[in-house]
């Protein structure tokens, strides 16, 4: 049995009928070179064979009495691979639009808490004979980086299975279960699952055992609240001292974001859109302005938002603010699951018309946000998640949803923009080559849009998940991001182009 960390448990506690906190990946495979093609049974067989490499995939959540502690993970005595690997198909013509509609429908359905929190949907009927796999895994057991490692357990570097790791991990290349424990929480006894070992269904813990563990942990929970308060006060003082000493600009604060039509109480229904960017173009633009690839992703997202809001006849009084998740996973934590993330608030400079000037503003804002994040430290958010009682977080989440509070309150930020690096070599599943992988992050109350990107080979794949009611025109944002990328490429190309002699200034 393995207890979830506070941050992992928070993703369970904060779920509500409208907020579904799972992460998704929409993968498309080309089986043209695969003898016999890529059928459902072939994928199911591979997934069943490799599930032991990801221990939480055979474990279910066990709640703690009255929500006084975060849940524990325990091997599911009724695990059924056929519940988790499912088959579906697209209507003709099986293109990107039909795929996005299917994925939106899957995104709108919460995962069953009484089973291991993941699903793979094998999608047939795609154009050009391709086959899709839509992976859906709860945020309580993975973040963006560990999610990539989870998928890597089911991938290979060639059409023939190979033991070499894809996203880091064991340098010897041996396939092994991800993590010494299924998640980063404390081991309450048992819970390890070695690949290839015989599996015997365990019995779920009794109520008396759960009460003993819960009451025994309460003093530590109260102590954690006190320590977290002290750490938070120290962090606030550190940021203030840095600002006074250096005159450094501060990143946006929560609730500094303007109210827009993208923000409000969300429904349980989703819309999805995809976009693709050239990784070469992203890197070229980043070098031209002295920024990072992530700066460019934020800039083109800002450009897409400008296009979307202009079509709606909106012009926010101040710049939109993005929440940018940041991995704080150390080298020693590579190969472990669970969440090791912090986050920064960044101004998107949506009021700046010139695309290159907008990128420079974002670049400078990201530098300020990183400095402020270092002053605060990466553990404050995780500490609060650890100290909070899940029952309290769940009730607050339901209160926000039931009273539609964000129809009346300013949002803490306007959207989430997340960047997950992927492999620069071709990868395969059951012998078929992957041609694309569009990720999707969750949306939460008050925040109607999530933009997540994943780089693979020479392409940056953009996945956008949005609230059905707040952002019915999500495809406009996807097209706007691609258009904003073209504008940035043209702007930097013009700057680097030599000035014709007839435009040159004549000597005095």
Pairing of strands 85-89, 341-347: unpaired
Q: Angle 65-66-68 (CA atoms, 0-180°, nearest 5)?
A: 85
Helix (H, G, I), strand (E, B) or coil at 325: strand
Q: Which residue, 7, 19, 8, 5, is CA-closest to 450?
A: 19
DSSP code at position 184: S
> Which residue bears the tokens 């599911």?
76
Q: What is the mean pLDDT of residues 24-37?
A: 94
- As a whole number of Å, the end-to-end CA separation of the chain is 82
Domain locations along the chain: 2-187, 222-496
For residue 454, give the 3-state DSSP assignment.
Answer: strand
The pLDDT score that the predictor gives to residue 223 is 57
d(CA 440, CA 345): 20
* Residue 387: HSE in the Cβ half-sphere, 13 Å Cα cutoff: 17
- What is the percent of the chain with per-residue pLDDT over 90, rounded to a whole number? 56
63 against 344, higher pLDDT? 344
| pLDDT single digits (tens) 443-471 | 999 999 999 999 999 999 999 999 999 99
Which residue did the predictor score with more confidence, 150 or 361? 361
Q: Are 25 and 147 in contact (CB under 8 A)?
A: yes
| Alpha-carbon span 328 to 358, nearest angstrom | 27
Q: What is this structure's pTM?
A: 0.84
Q: Determine how β-strand 85-89 pairs with β-strand 118-124.
A: parallel
If you write DSSP's letter for every residue of 157-178 in order, what string do you get?
Answer: SSSS-----SSS--TT-----S
| Helix pair 355-376, 207-246: axis angle to 10 deg | 120
CA distance 469 to 7: 29
Residue among 70, 121, 139, 181 flagged as catalytic: 139
The gap from C-alpha 117 to its chain's centroid, in whole angstroms, comes to 16
Instruction: State which fold the 222-496 domain adopts.
Output: Chloramphenicol Acetyltransferase (3.30.559)
Question: Rounded CA gap, 241 and 273, in Å?
Answer: 43
**Dihedral pair phi/psi, residue 25, rounded to 5°:** -140, 125
SS3 444: strand
189: left (phi over 0), alpha (psi -120 to 50) or beta: left
The string of pLDDT tens digits covering residues 291-312 is 999 999 999 999 999 999 999 9
Cβ-based neighbour number of residue 280 at 10 Å: 12
Does residue 33 carry a pLDDT above 60? yes
Find the helix or strand (DSSP H, E) in which 60 lies: strand 59-62
Q: What are the DSSP calls for 253-292, one per residue?
A: PTT-SPP-TT-S---S-EEEEEEEEEHHHHHHHHHHHT--
Residue-wise pLDDT tens digits, 40-55: 999 999 999 999 989 8
Question: If you ran DSSP here, which 8-state letter would residue 115 be given?
Answer: S
**Eight-class DSSP state of 64:** P
Active site residue 139: yes
Domain 2-187 = CATH 1.10.760.10: no
| Residue pLDDT, tens place only, 141-153 | 886 566 677 788 8
Predicted confidence at residue 189, as pLDDT, reads 39
Residue-wise pLDDT tens digits, 168-188: 444 334 455 654 344 444 444
Which pLDDT band, with edges at 50, 70 and 90, does 388 fall under?
A: low
């Amino acid at each position: 049995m393995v207890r979830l960390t506070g941050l992992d448990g928070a993703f369970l506690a904060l779920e509500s009928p409208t907020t579904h906190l799972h992460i998704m990946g929409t993968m498309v495979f080309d089986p043209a070179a695969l003898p016999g093609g890529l059928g459902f049974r072939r994928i199911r067989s591979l997934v069943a064979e490799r599930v032991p490499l990801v221990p939480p995939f055979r474990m279910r959540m066990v709640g703690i009495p009255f929500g006084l502690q975060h849940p524990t993970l325990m091997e599911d005595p009724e695990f059924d691979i056929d519940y988790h690997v499912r088959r579906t198909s697209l209507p003709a013509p099986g293109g990107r639009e039909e795929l996005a509609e299917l994925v939106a429908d899957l995104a709108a359905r919460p995962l069953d808490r009484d089973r291991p929190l993941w699903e793979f949907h094998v999608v047939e009927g795609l154009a050009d004979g391709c086959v899709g796999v839509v992976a859906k895994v709860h945020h309580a057991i993975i973040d963006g980086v560990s999610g990539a490692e989870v998928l890597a357990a089911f991938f290979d570097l060639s059409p023939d299975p190979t033991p070499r790791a894809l996203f880091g991990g064991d340098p010897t290349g041996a396939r092994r279960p991800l993590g010494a424990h299924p998640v980063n929480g404390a081991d309450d006894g048992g819970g390890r699952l070695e690949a290839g070992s015989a599996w015997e269904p365990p019995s779920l813990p009794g109520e008396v055992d759960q009460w003993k563990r819960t009451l025994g942990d309460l003093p530590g929970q109260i102590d954690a609240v006190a320590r977290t308060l002290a750490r938070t006060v120290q962090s606030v003082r550190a940021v203030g001292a840095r600002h006074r000493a250096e005159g450094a600009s501060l990143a946006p604060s929560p609730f500094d974001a303007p109210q827009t039509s993208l923000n409000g109480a969300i429904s349980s229904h989703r819309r999805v859109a995809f976009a693709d960017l050239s990784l070469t173009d992203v890197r070229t633009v980043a070098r031209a302005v002295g920024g990072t690839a992530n700066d460019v992703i934020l800039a083109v997202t800002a450009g897409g938002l400008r296009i979307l809001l202009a079509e709606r006849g909106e012009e926010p009084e101040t710049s939109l603010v993005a929440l940018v998740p940041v991995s704080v996973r150390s080298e020693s934590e590579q190969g472990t699951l669970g969440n090791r993330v912090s986050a920064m608030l960044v101004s998107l400079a949506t009021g700046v018309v010139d695309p290159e000037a907008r990128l420079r503003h974002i670049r400078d804002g990201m530098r300020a946000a990183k400095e402020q994040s270092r002053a605060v430290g990466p553990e404050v958010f995780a500490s609060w998640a650890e100290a909070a009682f899940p029952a309290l977080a769940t009730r607050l989440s339901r209160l926000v949803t039931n009273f539609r509070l964000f129809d009346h309150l300013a949002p803490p930020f306007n959207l989430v923009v997340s960047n997950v690096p992927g492999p620069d070599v071709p990868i395969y599943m059951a012998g078929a080559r992957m041609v694309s992988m569009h990720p999707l992050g969750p949306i939460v109350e008050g925040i109607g849009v999530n933009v997540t990107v994943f780089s693979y080979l020479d392409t940056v794949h953009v996945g956008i998940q949005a609230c059905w009611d707040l952002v019915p025109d999500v495809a406009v944002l996807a097209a706007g991001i691609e258009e904003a990328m073209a504008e940035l490429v043209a702007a930097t190309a013009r700057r680097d182009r030599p000035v014709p002699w007839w435009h040159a200034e004549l000597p005095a």
